[in-house]
Chains A and B, each alone.
Chain A
């Protein structure tokens, strides 16, 4: 059963804490992406990776970090430097970087305690 798995579904962050959101795909896709979704705003790109061990900043990378050590995995860390982290986070993948057909996970809702 191929797809993208995000975990956890809900996550709470205390002030000053770093938290990591998991994203795993078994679609054998080269490219992976992290988006942030806020009410009334479109999806905004945080980071993307076109190949293992390489990633690029998106439009709103400040306060976030990523790694791509394996093709299947693209975890996102929300650091304490991100002052407004409450949002719905979506991970996506595509067969290659220039492919517009993104496949999304089911999202992680991050809230601040």
Chain B
């Protein structure tokens, strides 16, 4: 079983819809949770960063972490064609010597005008 599971999609939604992207994980030591956006043949860019449980909002984006269920989500409101990209979740534990990130496989999202 992979440490981080992410549905690869592809996911297509009409412009203006709310998008929900999710990851599940098995390592209870994960404390830092991130979402990266990657346009085709480009490097990923950090979208959202959350420590431990709870919600974080930034403009049209909301990140949620539910540590009891080992489940994280990214919501995109009022989706735009420019949101079409691959979204990667990433996580890290806090224990010393284990600083590296573990990435999900990415979900490919297309917003249809």
Binding site for B on A (CB under 8 A): 4, 6, 40-43, 45, 48, 58, 88, 90, 92, 97-98, 100-107, 109
Contact = CB atoms under 8 A, between A and B. Distances in A.
A92 B104 CA distance: 17
A92 B45 CA distance: 10
26 contacts: A4-B43, A6-B43, A40-B8, A42-B4, A42-B6, A42-B103, A42-B104, A42-B105, A43-B88, A43-B103, A88-B41, A90-B44, A92-B43, A97-B99, A100-B34, A100-B90, A100-B101, A101-B34, A101-B46, A102-B36, A102-B46, A102-B101, A104-B43, A106-B42, A106-B43, A107-B41
Give the interface residue-count category, chain B.
20 to 34
B92 interface: yes
A45 B100 contact: yes
Contacts of B8: 40
Contacts of B88: 42-43
A41 B100 contact: no
B92 A90 contact: no
Interface in B1-19: 4, 6, 8
Contacts of A88: 41
Contacts of B106: 42
B105 A98 contact: no
Nearest to A99: B99
Contacts of A101: 34, 46, 49
B32 interface: yes
